[in-house]
Each structure stands twice: as C-alpha cells, then as structure tokens.
Amino acid sequence: METCGRDFEGEYVKPFTPEKAKEIVMSLHQPAIFCNMVFDWPARHWTAKHLSEVLHGKQIRFRMGMKSTDTGRTTVPQFETTCGYVEATIEEFLAWNCDHSGISGPFRDYDHSEFWAYADYKYFVRLFEDKTDIFQDVIWSDFGFPGRNGRESTLWIGSLGAHTPCHLDSYGCNLVFQVQGRKRWHLFPPEDTRFLYPTRIPYEESSVFSKVSVVNPDLKRFPQFQKARRHVVTLSPGQVLFVPRHWWHYVECIDPVTVSINSWIELEEDHQARVEEAITRMLVCALKSAEDPHNTRAWLNPTEVGHFWFSSWQLVSCDKSTLARTFVFQFMTSKVVETQELKTNGEDMKKNELNVHHLMEVEQTGSQNLPLETVKQEAAGPFGPDLLPVLPSSEKPPSERGGIFENDDKDCVGKGGEHFGKLHCTKRQRRMSKSENATVGQIASNHATAHCQTFISTDDVLDCVVNPQVTKIVAQLLIQGRSL
C-alpha cells in the first residue's frame, strides 16, 4: 500500500511510485491534487525572490490587468487583448508589488492599488536559455514521465488578482506545481462546454476561450451557464494539480506573490485536436486576411502577434486560402440565410448521410446526466490523503456571495474589455423548422441575440465558422476521408 510517511530508516518516501502516478494521470477523468510528491524537488525553493537573483537583470514580459472593486465588478472577461504589457525584471516587479510610493521604472504608469501583473506562459527554454542546468530542478519523472523536466515546463509569476480568462487547452492534460502563494482554480468538465459559450476570438493557437466571466456571469446574456458544474479548489505551495484533457479552467492568484510551474502532457487523443487546430488556423488566416493583416490586436492574442501570418507549420495553400476568401465574400454579400436554402442543404446533408446533430449529441452527452451516486462512486477512485479529488462546488458564484479573495476585498475580475463575435439573427432566420434548429441550434445558442442588426462583420463569421463544434465535425470528415 502506497502511503506517505517514513520508511524503516526514517527517510520520507513518496506516496506514489512513478509508475503508479502515471497510471493515475493517464486514467483519471477528474481534477485531483497530488500531495507529498515534490518535497525533494530543488524547484520547491523557487520563490520570486530566488528567481530574481537567478535571472538578475533579465527582462521578461508582464501582462497588466485592472483589479475591480465590489462596486465596479464587470461581467466581461478580461481577455489578453485588452491588457497592457510591460517589459521588466523580476526585481522591478517585486519593488512595484511592495506598493512603494513614487516608484519609477517600467511599472510607473500602473498604480499597484488598481492593477495586477502576470508573467505568464514563460517557457523555460527561453527564460533560462543560458542556464540549462536549472532544468533538472523540476522532476516530472516522479510522475512517470522519464526525462521530463524543466525543458518541457512553463513558469508563471503573478501578483494578487492576476488571472487567466476561462479557457480549455486543445492538447494534452496538465500538471501544475504550486511553488509560492496560492491560486484558486475554477474548473468545469468538458461535457459542460456548451454551457460556457466557447469562442476562438481572441484567437490563440490551442486555446478555446469562454465568453462568460465565470466569477461574475451575465446570466441574462448567458443563461445556460447556470447549468455548468463548477469545481473550485485552492492550490497551495507543495501541491500538484492534475487537470484532465479539455477541462475548462479560470485561474486567479489570491496571495500577494504567486509562482507556479506547469507541464502539458501529450496524449494519443491529441491527433484529432491537431487537425482541428490546423483547420481553425487556416480559416482564421484566410478570413482575416480579407481585412488589413496588420490590424490584428482586436482578435489575435498577443502570444500570436508577430509570427501568425508566416507560421512554419501553417497548413494553408494558396488555393485553399483563395477558396476560403471566396466563401467569405459569398457569405458577406447575403444578409440572411433563406429558409428554403437551409432546407435544401438539410436534404443534401441527409443524402450524404451526415448527421451533424448526432455528432454534436455524441460529443456533448456525458457525465452531466449521471446520477449523483455514480458521480460519488467515480469520486472514490484512487483517492486518499495524498490524492485529493476536486469535486463540484456547492457554493454560489463569487458574484452572488461577495468578494472572491480570502485576504483582500478587491477581486481580480478585469475592468474593461469587450465582447467579441456576436451573431445576431433576423426574424427570417428564427423561422427555421425544428429539424433545422436541431442541426444549427447548438452552435447558434452560443451567440447573443440582444439586438438584431443587418451588418455582419468578419469577426461574426469567424466566430461561427471556427466554433469548436464545427471544426470538430470537419476534422472527423477529413480523417474519415468523407466530404459533403
């Protein structure tokens, strides 16, 4: 039996062997926290102060977002496209984070009482390019992945309130080691995807964002979000969180300084996801190139700016790009989709034996319909004192219970930002038959219908065409060698 404690010689032993840990990671379908697995890792001592000495003088990019007060809480996600950015050293970040009056330097335009800072997605291979020995301080081989260390890892350093918008990662599963401070994770299962109103705007390779501000949801605009099953957990130093494939997550820093290290583990199931990402990237490139290719900030995440148009793995030929532009032109010149055309297309689809609604149902049915006892039985699994399950939360959303920080009355929901990709519908579009609604309704339900308008932008088209459910079906068709 694998338990944490001392062996006969008084030495601490880990609760799981690498083989057992990997078995858990590869078979578990719900988030869980590993305890007592990293107590001997050198990276256990990687506080922000320590890293400022290791990386002395090295400038890194910090994302700057606005804190909000209880009276200024927003229902709009603070996407990375709406944030400011600062190039600074960790020393300068720590000085600013101490809230020194009259501070100068790169953070001088950001009042600490109003802004948070986040050095996120910092890949070790770039950050420590001249200190590669430090890769050995991270020992993912303890989780059954031999040779995996800091080279395959990412560093995150944030201040109180720093957060990432709710999203899912297209590839793999995730192991997250909390080094300093605490982070609160809001997680949602992949079966609840349709309740989170997924969008690819702003576009970032391998990330699907939610239109919902999950800490303060606008339930009038996104009523289905009430059905999403929120799992909330606070990750403390020394713990490792396992995030299964395609679990949605919103992550917020709830201490003055936080440091985390993560690694995305590749999975066999990623093959189809890579096809879906290639399709998405092709369409985004083709559609948006119809506009000014230099005007990318509103819809392209900063991580993609600069290398998007000439990506080395872009799978777009000139002919395909031209075809996509032709499609956009034809779509844009027609203000509405005629009912008769929809019916004809529906008949053609039947003739080709393509049941889109069935594909969507297969994708979206899952544990949401499982009885409570079944969920409890799954939760029993391999869990114990050293492997803690992350269970559905019975708490109300933070917006309904007050502040979301345990040690500060300022929350971390971004102030400002904007909605992307609204798809408004006309009366004629709403007069579709039940069968047509069954086919299109699941996708259309992800779009707001607050105000009707005749103008349709390429962002509207993009948000619909690259909807994850659509690209999944297209990928399945391509893999199966089928066509409409």
Does 444 or 250 have the greater pLDDT score?
250
Query: What is the pLDDT confidence band of residue 354, given thresholds at 50, 70 and 90?
Result: very low
Q: What average pLDDT does the segment 282-303 reach?
A: 66
The per-residue pLDDT for 25 is 97
The per-residue pLDDT for 393 is 87
The per-residue pLDDT for 460 is 77
Query: What is the pLDDT confidence band of residue 69, given thresholds at 50, 70 and 90?
Result: low
Query: What is the pLDDT confidence band of residue 456, given thresholds at 50, 70 and 90?
Result: confident
Whole-number mean pLDDT of the chain?
76
Query: What is the pLDDT confidence band of residue 202, given thresholds at 50, 70 and 90?
Result: confident
Measured CA angle at 154 (ends 152, 158), to 5 deg: 170
Q: What percent of the chain has pLDDT over 70?
A: 64
Residue 471 has pLDDT above 60, yes or no: yes
Give the CA diameter of the chain.
80
Residue of 111, 109, 102 whose CA lies nearest to 410: 111
Radius of gyration, alpha carbons of the chain: 23
259 Cβ contact list (under 8 Å, min separation 6): 46, 47, 48, 51, 155, 156, 157, 178, 179, 180, 181
Q: What one-character-per-residue DSSP string does 282-294 give?
A: HHHHHHHTTS-TT
Q: Is the peptide bond before 202 cis (omega within 30 degrees of 0)?
A: yes
Residue 276 has pLDDT above 50, yes or no: yes
Query: What is the pLDDT confidence band of residue 350, given thresholds at 50, 70 and 90?
Result: very low
Does 196 or 204 have the greater pLDDT score?
196
Residue 255 has pLDDT above 80, yes or no: yes
The per-residue pLDDT for 149 is 98
The per-residue pLDDT for 100 is 63
**Predicted TM-score (pTM) above 0.85:** no
The per-residue pLDDT for 114 is 92
Residue 201 has pLDDT above 80, yes or no: yes
Residue 455 has pLDDT above 80, yes or no: no
Amino acid at 154: T
Residue of 414, 345, 363, 313 whose CA lies nearest to 63: 414
Q: What percent of the chain has pLDDT over 90?
A: 50
Q: What average pLDDT does the segment 318-335 reach?
A: 40
Residue 67 has pLDDT above 80, yes or no: yes
Structure confidence by residue, pLDDT tens digits, 383-442:
999 999 999 987 655 454 444 333 433 333 333 333 333 333 333 333 334 444 443 444
Other beta carbons less than 10 A from residue 68's beta carbon: 21
**Least confident window among 40-44, 136-140, 301-305, 359-363:** 359-363
Q: What average pLDDT does the segment 10-15 reach?
A: 82
